[in-house]
Every structure is written in structure tokens, then in C-alpha cells.
Structure 1
Amino acid sequence: MSSTQTYRFWVTCPQGVHGLLKQEIEQITGITAGDWHKGVVFEGPLVDGYRVCLWSRLANRIYLALHEVEEVSYSALEAMVKRVEWDQHLRPSGTLKVTFTGHLPEIRDTRFGAQKVKDWVVDQFRDKHGMRPSVDKSADLTIFAQVAKKKMFLGIELTGESLHKRGYRQSTGPAPIKENLAAALLLANDWPAKARRGEAFLDLMCGSGTIVVEAAMIAADYAPGLGRGKFGFERWLQHSVNDWRLLQEDARNRRTVGIESMPPVLGYDADGGVIASANETLQKLGLEKQARCYHKSLDEWTLPTHWELKPGLWLSNPPYGERLGDKPTLMRTYRKIGDIAREQLAGWDLAMLTSDDILAREIGLKPKQKRTFFNGPLETVLYNFSAEGDRLAEGQAVNEQITAFKNRIEKNLKQLKKWRNKDGIEAFRVYDADIPEYAIAVDQYADWLHVQEYAPPKSVPEQKAQQRLFHAIDALSELFDIPVKRIAVKRRERQKGSNQYEKNAATNQSFIVHEYGVKLKVNLLDYLDTGLFLDHRSSRHWVQKNAAGKRVLNLFCYTGSFTSHAFVGGAKKTVSVDLSKTYLNWAKDNLELNGGKEGPNHQFIHADCLKWLADCRDSFDLIVMDPPTFSNSARMSETLDVQRDHEMLITNAMKSLSASGVLLFSNNYRKFFMDEKIYELFDVKDVSNLSIGPDYKRKKPHRCFEIRFKG
């Protein structure tokens, strides 16, 4: 091949970087780049392909094109491969590797595709030379073949490993971003021009320092390919050793000049371990004179006085908080970003990469620009701000709403304080959608909080609802002095059938709360419910006070809290029935916590309560029945609708009640009304008001009745 020959080069890059890569190639080569199936294409002499390998901060891989055909078929692929004189690129005694992407009717697997291309290549060598190259992962030549929808491509990989591997990375902190994505963020913020003007760079959450290192290399005019051990083209038969040597010499000279004139590039992080690693990298690259990382958190940070800093760019990749529970804590971090910018960085530009617009809005500044990038598979957005930029108009309104929310919580706590202290209550409702903007229920369980979000109306955008939820959690953490990790957060919707028993996760973080001398196990994280219905607290206390010497039946027993109260109250016998083995085991645990044990006097029965009750022939002095509003569990013989079926439930339960006994019947269907037939047959007393504690008086969550035989 002639050194003046024009070649076609295909260049791949991370998703979202395509436009920046086209600009970069033009700046490196002076050649206008175009669009290619997987990235960017340009044409020029071989030396320009080398230049892009050496200087591109954005590319992943660069291929030298051999053929590109529009016929997409197995026979066309074979012909395209066989058309190349492969001994012009590789010695018969050399090594090769094939990368293949795409599918054909005859090629369903990329490994099979690579195998076929390899076979056609080595067969050509065997026919011409009587010997063939061998396959090796660290090959002299890597062949690239790709089948797309409308074209097929065949070329030689020039880069070897992906160009994002600069050769400087040693150890890293958690979740680092790739080097070429870091460079893309810097180029998107015009950092090269800022550096040439002597403006400084800051990353106040630098982690292992990838963005800091890339910023320093750009500021020092340091070619990213200088630190790589090898490139794919170096054992290619048509490699121009002299052209490559001259390019490297020029890059080293530019680096020497650039380091002397580069502005300060500074990074900070709360993790001292990753800071040490970042500084080792900067020293290894010879950039430590003007580039340095320091162990300092956002809360401790102030504008340094020992560096002369011309206002420039602050760019960070702060945590995104992919888990729901992380985001309220991170909101404080993002608010701190805005505070630092407004108070200390006048004249600076800011850029933050995050996957969450809610977090970005906490900065409190109106973005000048938003640009989408992909951090691996995760779609993220780069937000650009000016420290003196316009503030978001919603900030004041949000502050007023949060203040009102906190005031209401404090008012509720004050009203409940005397009652809680008198009765020693550890688990109670604090708040229940008292303010329309914060449609959540908040319960305190000892030193934990349990937050249930009501599904927002369709008129409230999902993002706005989430933002309010995160603000509320943040406020609760501050108000109760409880870390966010001890605030369990759940979306609360009407549950049907067995959904109320479904698991959310498997943390097994159970703990004990005390209620009128009874110990009860709760788990706020693993299930939609917690194991303890707080609105039935007064009813449980009533059972405890009336259970002495009684035979007690607990139907739909859930975790057996009524059973434990009955045992502590001196019940002679207890029988607990439920369809869930999980909750029956929980009920046994609760009984053991209070000194009881499963046996003839304390039975736990795994059964469909409807069927078991219809067949029951035993007699009980006190029956507790709190059925679900609706259930269609596959394990039940029939569906259950409490409004429709309560007459049957009560009538069957009364068959098992002793003459002087009482049935405590309750349910949480707010529109429930007792059938007149029940009033005609039995002595019915509505005790709903008595069964609801002070923490639930604002919203009456259940109906409760004492039912006895007449006379």
C-alpha cells in the first residue's frame, strides 16, 4: 500500500458521544468525518488513522476498512472475505483473531460467524503457502467483520484494546466512569479552550480521579495514546514504523510544552483511599506539579487560597442513588453543590452528570444546557449551569411546603406525647396525608420510621410525586434524627388477594417493639406490611384485659399479635389459623418472645379460614376475626369479599362461640356496613371509636364490633 493512498476508517465510541467524536476527528486530522453504522467514518492517509489512534480521547476502536458491500447474505460475506489478499496483511506463520457481530439465516451465533471468517482466511493461506496462521487472543492481526441490516463490513482493527484504556489506571474507587466518557464530558464543556485561557478545573467529588486525570491530560496537551503499551497495527505487515515514530515524538514534545503552561487541575473527595490512588496516577503521568487531589468532603470544602485559580469549570460525576432509599440523603449533597456554587464560585461554570432529574433540581439553578450520555448501560444527563445563573422558581414554594410538613409532624408528636408516655407506646402513627402535597403515612417503630406513599392522582406527575417523597424523607430524617437507612419507604396501593403477603426483599432485619407489656417482632423492609397493624392496638389491649382463663380463637391471625396479647393476658388456650405459613411461623416467634410455646394449649393451624371455620366443632370464649377486605388467593377454595361474605363469616364463627362468649369482628373496609340480619340474630355493639387509638382519630381506618348472643 502506498503512503499517499487514501484509506477509509470506521471509528466507534460510547453511546451519546457520536457528535463530539466527529468534531474531535476534524480537529485532529483536518478531515470532515461522517456518520457510520456504529459511529463515525472518515477518509485520509494512513498517518491520519494513526493520529486518531494516538490523540482521540473519545473513540473506543478504529478499523481500517477493507470492504463494504450492500448485499447482505452468506455467499456475499464469503466472497467479501475471500476477495482480500490476506498475506498482504499477515505472515503465514503469524497469529490472527476474528471479531464478528450480526446475524444471517446461516449464522445465528457470533462465535460461529467468527469461526467461518477465520476458516475462509486460513484456507486461503493453506492453499497459497501450504501453511496457515494460528489463532491467538494476543494476535498479530485482528480481523473485524460485521453484518448489519443493509450492509456488511470487513476491516482490520488498528487499536487493539479499546482506546479508553490509556494505560494509567491502577486501582479505582466504586463505579468509576470510563476515561473516554470523562473526556466527552470535558469536551462538551469546552474544557480545552478554557484550559488554553488559563482557567482552572475543579472536581469536588472526584472519586478515583478519572475526570481529574482526563482534565489534566487535556490541559497539558497530553496525547492519551502515549501511555498505551501497544496498538493493534504494530504487527500488521503494512504498518509504517517511521510515520508512527514521528507522531509519537511530536506528541511527546507537545506534552513537555503543555505541562509547563497548564492551569491548576484540582480534585477533592471524602474517601482518602481513592485520593491516594488518584495522586499516584497524576505523579506517574508527570502531572503532579499543577494537578492534585485532596482528601476533603463537600461539607468541609472552601475555595483554596494556596493555588491561584482563575474561574473556570467545576465538573463532577456525583452519586446517582439508583436505590430509592439513597436519594433523600443525596438530595442534601446536590443542595450543597448549589450552595457552594452560589457562595464561593462566582464566575465559574458547573457541570454535573446524573441519571436523576429530581436530584439535579436540588442544585437550585436553572440549567443552561442538558445533554444525554450513557454511563455504561445507564442513561445519564449532563447538566450545565452558571454559578450566577437563574434559580429555579420552585425553590421557595418547596421550602414553604417542607416547613409546613415538619410543623405538622411536630404538632402531631406534641399531641400524642402524653398518651405515648402514659401507655409506653413504641409503635404509632405520626402522620397520615395531613397535608395534600405530602400524601404519605408515617409510622414510628422504636428508632425506625416506616413511610408508605399513597399512589398519587393522575393529575400529579410521577416525577413531582417522587420529588415530594424524597423531600419528606429527608425532612423526617432531620426531624427525628434518624439516618435515612432506618427509614423504610414503600409505595402504598390497595392490595388484593395474596399481594398483602408478598415479599419485597430479603433483608431479615427484624426487631422487637413493646406494646402493653407484650413483645412483638416487626420487619419494616421485607414485606408490604410490617407484621403489626398499628390501628388495632386498642383492640389487642382489650383482648389482653379480657383473656384471663379464656379459650381464644384468632382467625386470619396474620403474625399472631392478638394471640400474644391473649397469652400475656392469661388465656387458657389459643388457636391461631391462617393460610400463610410464613406468618404462622412469625406468630409462633411472637408467642415464644412472650414466654409461650406451640403445643396442645397453643395451636397454630395452616388452613383456609373459611373452610376451617365451617368444619370447626370446638367452642371458644373469645374469638378474634379480622378478615382482609378482599382475597382471591389461589390457595383458598373461594374468594372472599368482606362486605358480601361477612354474614356467613359471623354466623359460622358464632357456632363456635360459647354461650357467654364474645366475637370481636373487625375489618378495614371503610364503606363497610353490618347486615341487618346480624343485628336481628345477635347482640351487636359497634366499638369502632373505642378500638381506635389517639394516633388514628383523624382518619378512622377500620370498623370493629363486639358480637354476643342475645339474652
Structure 2
Amino acid sequence: MHKLIVTTSKGLDELLKTEIEQILSTLNIVESTSDTKNSTSAEDDADDYELPALKLQPGQVSFEGTLKDAYQLCLHSRLANRVLLVVAEGTVNSAEELYDVAKEADWPSQFDSYVPFMIQFNGTNNAINNSQFGALKVKDAIVDQFQEAGFERPSVDKLKPGIVIQARLRRDSLHLCIDLSGGSLHKRGYRTDAGEAPLKEHVAAGILMRSGWAQDANSVLLDPMCGSGTIPIEAAMMAANIPPNLDKETWGFEHWNQHEKNTFSEVVAQASKRVKTPNAAIYAYDLSTKIVELAEQNAMRAGVADFITFKQCDVLDAVITEAHNNTASNNAEDEASEPAVKGYIVSNPPYGERLGEYTSLLPLFDKLGHHLKKHFANWHVSLLSSNQDLLKALKLRYTKSYKLMNGKLECVLMNYQISGQNLEIFESQTDENHEFANRLRKNLKRLKPWIKRSDTNAYRVYDADLPHYNLAIDIYNDWVVVQEYAAPKDVPEEKAKQRLQEALIHIPKVLGIPASKMAVKVRRQNKGKEQYEKVAQKGQRVIVHEHEAQFYINPTDYLDVGLFLDHRDTRLLFKQQCVNKDVLNLFAYTGSVSVHAAKAKAKSVTTVDMSNTYIEWAKDNFSLNKLNGSYQFIQADCLKWLTREHGQYDLMFIDPPSFSNSKRMDDTWDVQRDHVSLLSDARACLKPGGKIFFSNNLRQFKLDQNAVEALGFKVEDITQKTIPEDFKRNQKIHKCWILSL
């Protein structure tokens, strides 16, 4: 007997224990029955077979078993990653103890000195806190033992080892094992290109078992988002009794001296006899024709392509009908009109790990919930995802959930029964009855006449109208940008997340835009020039127009998109005064004010900003508008640059940030503290009779009017004139003055 350790992913260990029990008991009973010449029943054989005691630990199951048991698990386990045979174990609280435990094993009896080997060291403790160091000490013990016994020193080969030795350290307990698997057993060999973050084969097998289909394998199975086909392929192999590693080319025991070739050959022969033609009807659909072709090629390599119906199909069009129930037909066109009475949907839908992907997937999952209720009544549904918020968008009540790992991703498997409460229509799912959708629709209706008059396709349609939907929603041509304001402290995070999810589901429906053109930003009370914060890197550019001017905006990559909509009317007022003037746009951002000045036939336009990115953006906006003339673009610290300029400008536009501590500045900037000093420097650059449009968006800002008037300015508050119709709900969005000499 040998001590065996069988490993798997966390979350599958209990299933693995059950699977090992089934494999060992079933195969031993089958073999015992086939060898029995009298009429002894399988039940009697079951009584004769004594299952070994299995010990369950996170990610592994261990037991005392025969080498034949190990071979059977290597061949038949659908959940195991590795099957390890323990050759030494002991307590390790120092490097010396690690070396001593490793040297206790009789390594020359395990493999010959000419066979290259490698050490895989897993785990650390207080004494061995580096796995590379641990592997080195084990290696030293092994080669020392060979040399002391008079053998040649064996070599280490990490690329093509003949023997892989696994060292598993848990707290102070060390196990040294021969890896019989020859690489992780989840790699069945049928996938050559699985795309990004593929579903591991053993995880696919695990979710089929958790779904209940594996115990009811004559039922219909559908994966409507099959990707590379892992779930339907694993299902077909289960239904056909094909051991997952029957055709594995290399094993870890091939150069192991204690390998029993005849025993392994018997195990393989017995496994081959159990393969059968399945009765299950298995369907694999995907939106991409290319992906469906890839999945079908994988199925061919696995030898199960004839048992699966592949089809290019949108998940929202996917249906299975009675005509296919319990039939492995490959004809996907002869569907009857009535739905199948019972079946299983098991799938690993896209996760949407990044915010933009998640946003575009939410409406899909919302529609999928409706689709399942309409076309799959009485079906079982099992979905694996690392994003529970997406699954919540289904608006289905789950019956069971399981946590498990798919590679490094923490995932949850949710099981649903499409019956009872899950067939009820939730009032909140109907747009007409949803308060947020209804308010957004009313806003659009109210703004429609104004939008036609305003000569722009960039405007705000919602601004926290409903306190518990704390969002701003802006249209930019055919894009929508959603800004989520931080929820008040008295609103639970889960409730705020739910409200956002509801809004993101309804926004594309009401506005009539695809979810793929919806960008979501989270705006918090950060100090600094928020528009400089990069949140993505897609390089997406969209052209919008405003008062006969055009601008590039980037809806995805920055917190602000490149055009401040609340200054639309301010820009128009400024433009009207630019004719034949020398104009300065300070803190210029992407130069929208400069474009308007140039289009108004300003004599000269100087655009200054600290960011080279935005200076280049401003240049692109000028090119977009085909503007050529006396135009300067200067990347500089605006405050320093201003102190070097004198008496050059008739008109200035100054819209500084509320606060800045940029590394490009020698000191911090605070608009409340420093605005008088800024305006004093600006006055020195202003021609007699010149004007400054001064604006900022600090809600609590108070202009020091006495100090500003002492500089020689006449002060006119034009804030109310500059708040556009689409910002009327937010009268404090900015403040604006004209300062005249």
C-alpha cells in the first residue's frame, strides 16, 4: 500500500472525495464481477470491497491505496489535477530538518541517475519562507544520496524532466511525492487555443457535477455561450464513459522504477471497454462563428464531435425543443414548436472583469433572465462567474451556490430552477413601472425641443434627479457617459451597487443606444484636477459638435471626457467677444474655448496647459476644425508662465482647478486661497480695457471681491447666464465672473 495525495482546485475538494469513492468502488466491483464465474451479484461484490479511508483537506484528498488505485485515478478522475505518491514525510522546522527528511527516502530505488528530475516545492512556513530555497535543499539531499551510494550525480532539467518530485509543505508537515500525473490532469489535450481566461477542464467537469446533469446524463444539456466548448466536451466524455485521460501521451511514472506496466495496461484496457455511445442530447451554441468552429475542432480532437450539436446562435435566441429531447441529433434546424419538458443549461458566461466590460454585459444578463423564463420553464440552470453582480442582473432566485477557483479567479457557481417564483414577472423589470427609467424618459421628452435649438449633440439628460439614483448621465453623439457619485454614508454599499446596476440596465433601453457604447465612471470627492486621472486606455475618440465647432472626446479613458458640458453657454458668451482680439486660454484643458475664439476670428489665440496630453488634444481639435492662423500651444506650469507674460492680451479665459498638487508644480494650488494672486498676475498680462472670464467649480468658493476690485477690476457675476438648460438642476455646477479693467 502507498500513501496517495490527489489534488484539485479549491472548492472542488469535496466533489473530488466523492468522485474518488465512486471510481475506486465502481471499478473494483466491475473488475471483481467480470472475474467471478458464479452468480455472485454486484451488490455482494460491493460488500466484499472495503473502500479506503479518505482524508479531506483544502484542495486535496489523501488515502492509503494500491498502485492500481493510483493508475485508475490518473486515468478516470475528471476533477484531479495531480496524483502523487508519497515517498517520504516528516516534520520540518529548519533547513536542516528539510534536508534530513528529503534524505530519508531511497531515491536510487525511485529513479536512475541518468534520468533528469525537477523539484516542485509548494508551501512555506516560518523556517522555509522561500519555495526556491526549499526546492534547492531537497535537490541537494537527493543528489548527495545518489553520490554517497556510488551513483553518478543526477541532473536537474526543468523543461523535460523524466521524474517530477513534488514537495508539499503545510505548516511544519512535509510530504515528498513522485508526481505520477506527468503534468496537470486538467490538460486533456483537446484544446489548442482556448482564448483568454479559459475555463479549466476539471472545473467544467465539476460544475457539470454540481449542476445535477452528471447524475442525470440522459437529459438535454445546453451551453448557449460555449466558447471553446469545454463544458459540452466534458459532458459528452462523461455521457460516453470516456476517461478524461485515456489518450494521454506522457505520464509521470514512465521513468519511475516502481512503475507496474502490466497493471497500468490492464487499467487502460478495462477503461477502453467501458466506452459507449451516449444517449444524451448535448448542444453547444455561441455568437461567434469562429468560436463555434474552434469548439467543434476541440470536440473532434476529444473524439466526441458526433455527440454534440454545434450552432452559431445568439444566447438570446437560443431554444431547445421537444423534438431534440434525449436525441443526439446534429440537425439544429428541425426544431418543433413546443419547448422540451426538462433539461439543463450549464454555462460559463463572460465575466466582465473590467468596468467597461461589466457595463456592456449587464443589459445582456437582464435580457437573459427574461429569455430563460420565457423559453426554459422547468429547466435547471447553472452559471459560473467571477462577477456575482452580473448574475444578480438575471433577477432569478438561486437554489444553491458554490465557491470555487478557476485558475486564479475566485468564482461562484449558481444553480437555478426555472419554476415557481422564478417564473413570476417582477414589477421592477418593466421599464414603464421603474421609477428611474420613467424619470429618464420624461427628461428626454422635456429636453427634446431645447436639444433641437441648441445646435449640439453633447448634453446632460439626468443629474441625480432621484436621490437614490445618484448619477449624472451625458450624451456625446452616439455614446452615453454615466458618472456615479459616491453614495452618502448612510446608504449601504450593497444598496448603492444595486441601484447602479438597475440604472445601467435601463439606460441603454431608454436612450436607444447599445450597451457597448456606455461608459461608466465613478466620481468621488478627490482633490486635484480630476480630468487628468486616467481610468482606461482604449484610445476611443468620438466627434461631437457645438455652436458650429467640432471636438474630439474620449468617453472611456479619463474621468472627464475632454469637453465640459456645463461651460457650453460660457464658451458661447466668450466667443462673442473674441473678434479681432488677442486671446489667452489659461488652464486650457483640451482647448475648446480656444477653438471657439479662433472660429470667432480672434487676432491671436494662445492655449496654455500643464499637460502635454491635453495640449496635443487641443491641437487635434484645431485640425478637426481646419483652423490655421496665429495660434500658439504652450505646455507649461500655468502659474509660472503667467508671471513671465506682460501686456499681451485683450481677453482671457481662466478656469483653474479647485486644487492641485501636481509634481510639475513647485507648490500646491488652492483656488480659494490663491485666486487673488492668480488674478493679480493675470492683470499684469491684460491690455488696457481688457477682460477676464474667470470661472471655477468649487461649490463653496467665494470670490474676494474687495481684493479683486482693489486690483482695478470691475466685477460682474454672470453665473446664472452661464448655466445651460440641461444643468438647471445643479445651479452650483460652476461659478463665473467677467472681470473688466
TM-score (norm 2): 0.86
For the 8 Å contact 1:12–1:59, the answer to whether it is kept is: yes
1:24 equivalent to 2:44? Answer no
1:550 paired residue among 575, 581, 584: 581
Q: Provide the rounded CA distance (Å) in 2 between the counterparts of 1:439 and 1:78.
A: 62
For structure 1, which segment, 380-389 or 481-490, has the greater mean C-alpha deviation from structure 2 after superposition?
481-490
Q: CA deviation at 1:374?
A: 0.9
Corresponding position of 2:414: 383
1:7 paired residue among 2, 14, 30: 2
SS of corresponding position for 1:243: helix
Q: What are the equivalent positions in structure 2 for 1:65-144 lying under 5 Å apart?
A: 65-102=86-123, 110-111=131-132, 113-136=134-157, 137-144=159-166
Corresponding position of 1:266: 283
For structure 1, which segment, 654-663 or 437-446, has the greater mean C-alpha deviation from structure 2 after superposition?
654-663
1:633 equivalent to 2:633? Answer no
Q: What are the equivalent positions in structure 2 for 1:406-445 lying under 5 Å apart?
A: 406-445=437-476
Q: CA deviation at 1:613?
A: 3.9
2:393 paired residue among 362, 370, 376: 362
Q: CA deviation at 1:124?
A: 3.4
1:194 paired residue among 190, 213, 216: 216
Q: Provide the rounded CA distance (Å) in 1 between the counterparts of 2:681 and 2:423.
A: 62
Q: CA deviation at 1:353?
A: 0.5
Q: CA deviation at 1:200?
A: 2.8
SS of corresponding position for 2:323: coil
5+ residue gaps, structure 1, are 1-5
Q: Provide the rounded CA distance (Å) in 2 between the counterparts of 1:89 and 1:292.
A: 47
- Residues 36-87 of structure 1 show CA distances to partners (whole Å, capped at 9, x for unaligned) of 5762211122222222222211111111111210133332233333332333
Corresponding position of 2:493: 462
For the 8 Å contact 1:73–1:104, the answer to whether it is kept is: no
SS of corresponding position for 1:227: coil
Q: Could you say if the C-alpha distance between residues 11 and 424 of structure 1 is closer, same or farther in structure 2, counting changes exceeding 3 Å?
A: same
For the 8 Å contact 1:366–1:389, the answer to whether it is kept is: no
Q: Percent identity?
A: 40
Q: Provide the rounded CA distance (Å) in 2 between the counterparts of 1:291 and 1:572.
A: 73
Q: Provide the rounded CA distance (Å) in 1 between the counterparts of 2:310 and 2:665.
A: 63
Q: Provide the rounded CA distance (Å) in 2 between the counterparts of 1:138 and 1:105.
A: 32
1:43 paired residue among 57, 64, 70: 64
1:217 equivalent to 2:217? Answer no
Q: Could you say if the C-alpha distance between residues 33 and 536 of structure 1 is closer, same or farther in structure 2, counting changes exceeding 3 Å?
A: same
Q: What are the equivalent positions in structure 2 for 1:290-689 lying under 5 Å apart?
A: 290-309=307-326, 311-391=342-422, 395-397=426-428, 399=430, 403-597=434-628, 601-677=630-706, 678=708, 682-689=713-720
1:239 paired residue among 245, 249, 259: 259
1:706 equivalent to 2:738? Answer yes
For the 8 Å contact 1:551–1:622, the answer to whether it is kept is: yes
For structure 1, which segment, 352-361 or 287-296, has the greater mean C-alpha deviation from structure 2 after superposition?
287-296
Q: Could you say if the C-alpha distance between residues 170 and 445 of structure 1 is closer, same or farther in structure 2, counting changes exceeding 3 Å?
A: closer
2:273 paired residue among 247, 253, 263: 253
For the 8 Å contact 1:412–1:430, the answer to whether it is kept is: yes
For the 8 Å contact 1:366–1:392, the answer to whether it is kept is: no
- Residues 412-452 of structure 1 show CA distances to partners (whole Å, capped at 9, x for unaligned) of 33333333333422222222111223221122222222221
For the aligned residues, what is the CA RMSD? 2.9
5+ residue gaps, structure 2, are 25-50, 327-340
Corresponding position of 1:149: 171
- Residues 531-574 of structure 1 show CA distances to partners (whole Å, capped at 9, x for unaligned) of 22111121211222111222223232222222222222122233
SS of corresponding position for 2:664: coil
For structure 1, which segment, 323-332 or 405-414, has the greater mean C-alpha deviation from structure 2 after superposition?
405-414
SS of corresponding position for 1:368: strand
1:63 equivalent to 2:80? Answer no
Q: CA deviation at 1:603?
A: 3.4
Q: CA deviation at 1:10?
A: 1.2
SS of corresponding position for 1:142: strand
Q: Provide the rounded CA distance (Å) in 1 between the counterparts of 2:164 and 2:654.
A: 73
For structure 1, which segment, 570-579 or 355-364, has the greater mean C-alpha deviation from structure 2 after superposition?
570-579
Q: Provide the rounded CA distance (Å) in 2 between the counterparts of 1:63 and 1:697.
A: 70
- Residues 470-492 of structure 1 show CA distances to partners (whole Å, capped at 9, x for unaligned) of 44334333333333333232111
Corresponding position of 2:247: 227
For the 8 Å contact 2:483–2:520, the answer to whether it is kept is: yes
SS of corresponding position for 2:234: helix
- Residues 273-332 of structure 1 show CA distances to partners (whole Å, capped at 9, x for unaligned) of 333343444455554554333332222222234323462422111111112122233223
For structure 1, which segment, 324-333 or 148-157, has the greater mean C-alpha deviation from structure 2 after superposition?
324-333
Corresponding position of 2:191: 169
- Residues 226-276 of structure 1 show CA distances to partners (whole Å, capped at 9, x for unaligned) of 1212322243222223322222222222223xx35x432322222233333
Q: Could you say if the C-alpha distance between residues 71 and 707 of structure 1 is closer, same or farther in structure 2, counting changes exceeding 3 Å?
A: closer
SS of corresponding position for 1:19: helix
Q: Could you say if the C-alpha distance between residues 632 and 104 of structure 1 is closer, same or farther in structure 2, counting changes exceeding 3 Å?
A: closer
SS of corresponding position for 2:250: coil
SS of corresponding position for 1:539: helix
For the 8 Å contact 2:223–2:347, the answer to whether it is kept is: yes
- Residues 130-176 of structure 1 show CA distances to partners (whole Å, capped at 9, x for unaligned) of 44545455444332223443112212111112111223334435543
SS of corresponding position for 1:299: helix
Q: Could you say if the C-alpha distance between residues 76 and 435 of structure 1 is closer, same or farther in structure 2, counting changes exceeding 3 Å?
A: same
Q: Could you say if the C-alpha distance between residues 467 and 566 of structure 1 is closer, same or farther in structure 2, counting changes exceeding 3 Å?
A: same
Q: Provide the rounded CA distance (Å) in 2 between the counterparts of 1:173 and 1:632.
A: 43
Q: Provide the rounded CA distance (Å) in 1 between the counterparts of 2:576 and 2:101.
A: 89
AA aligned to 1:43 is: E
Q: Could you say if the C-alpha distance between residues 500 and 172 of structure 1 is closer, same or farther in structure 2, counting changes exceeding 3 Å?
A: closer
Count of equivalent residues: 697
For the 8 Å contact 2:122–2:131, the answer to whether it is kept is: yes
Q: Could you say if the C-alpha distance between residues 92 and 687 of structure 1 is closer, same or farther in structure 2, counting changes exceeding 3 Å?
A: closer
For the 8 Å contact 2:359–2:519, the answer to whether it is kept is: no
For the 8 Å contact 2:553–2:561, the answer to whether it is kept is: yes
Q: Provide the rounded CA distance (Å) in 1 between the counterparts of 2:646 and 2:698.
A: 29
Corresponding position of 1:3: none
